[in-house]
Structure 1
Amino acid sequence: MKKRLDPKAAIQKVAKKMIKKPPQYPNFRVGDTLRVYVKVKEGEKTRTQPFEGIVIAIQNKQERSSFTVRKIASGVGVERIFPYFSPVIDRIMLVSKGEVRRSKLYYLRELTGRKGRIRSEYVYQDTLAASDSAESADATVSDEDEAEDVSRNAQAAGA
């Protein structure tokens, strides 16, 4: 008996070869505000262009995963769908974490102004180089050690 070729398996095999390594993006959810840096080619030059907005949908479909980001530009709503494994995405920065109770925020399309706001908290992302972050990590450890020494001295003085 002849073995049949599964078309889905063949597509997945080719897709895995095309995706060399998974991208290192921050963990984000629907409702979060992202700044997606997109590579734009103009003639022979390439530059990065930021697109900042709220994630209104995420589709998880293995290699075909994508997320939709919505922003208001000059009073007009603009949505852009980004494939998760797209080579056009340079990097993604998490600006703020949103607090929502829906998996798709399509209702934001009809809301304008303050009605379309999402309760969120600002997220600080350190953008230092790897060597700078190692030095800052050493500095925070020494600061914590000094704080512990001060608290021990205060306890000893109080006892």
Structure 2
Amino acid sequence: MLKHKKNLSPLINLIEANYTKKNLPLIEIGDSIKIKKVIQEGNKERIQMSEGVVIGQNNSSINKTITIRKTIQNIGVERIYLIHSPQIINIEIIKKAKVRKSKLYYLRKRSGKSTRLKQRTNA
């Protein structure tokens, strides 16, 4: 049984390669990003913009997800986006921040000026 699983891995990677997006920017933790996503309501389609700070990232080939956090009227809103989803049209990086952790869950407990992150400068 184990021999079959090892042989399937290259085949799965070959199939997943057709569905992965090639023109994605390099998204890192702490980046402020803007996402354009197609929303379908009944038989109508519209484009919805969403922006926020990337506080988490899960990397597993085609199932790569990012968690975006944004505060709206002093309420924190987090959404998880599947990067290679066909509903996502465009991802644009607004700012890059200098962070030392891989998950920024500590931002959940804070509000206001304490949620600001240091901007990264390209040296």
TM-score between both structures, scaled by the size of structure 2: 0.83
Q: 2:92 aligns to what?
A: 93
Other-structure match for 1:26: 25
Per-residue CA deviations over 1:75-128 (Å, capped at 9, x if unaligned) read: 111111111211111101111111111111010000100011112269xxxxxx
**Structure 1 residues 46 and 121, CA, compared in 2 at 3 Å: closer, same or farther?**
farther
For these two proteins, the number of residue pairs brought into alignment is: 121
Contact 1:15–1:63 (CA<8 Å) still a contact in 2?
A: no
Extract unaligned runs of 5+ from structure 2: none
Contact 2:33 2:91 in 1 (8 A): yes
SS of the equivalent of 1:72 reads strand
Return 5+ residue gaps in structure 1 as ranges. 123-159
Task: Indicate whether 1:70 and 2:69 are aligned.
Answer: yes
Question: What pairs with 1:107-126 in structure 2 (closer than 5 Å)?
Answer: 107-120=106-119
Task: Please report the RMSD computed on the Cα atoms of aligned residues, expressed in angstroms.
Answer: 2.8
* Partner in structure 2 of residue 9 of structure 1: 8
CA distance in 2, matches of 1:111, 1:119: 16
| Percent pairwise identity | 31
**Contact 2:97 2:120 survives alignment (8 Å):** yes
Aligned match of 1:79: 78
CA contact (8 A) 2:98 2:118 kept: yes
Distance in 2 (CA, whole Å) between partners of 1:44 and 1:18 is 30
Which structure: larger Rg? 1
Q: CA deviation at 1:38?
A: 1.1
Indicate if the aligned counterparts of 2:19 and 2:84 stay in contact, CA closer than 8 A: no
CA distance in 1, matches of 2:75, 2:7: 39
Equivalence map 1:125-140=2 (5 Å)? none
Change (3 A) 1:3 1:77: closer
More contact order relative to length (CA 8 Å, sep ≥ 6):
2
| Structure with greater proportional strand content | 2
Q: Which has the higher helix share?
A: 1
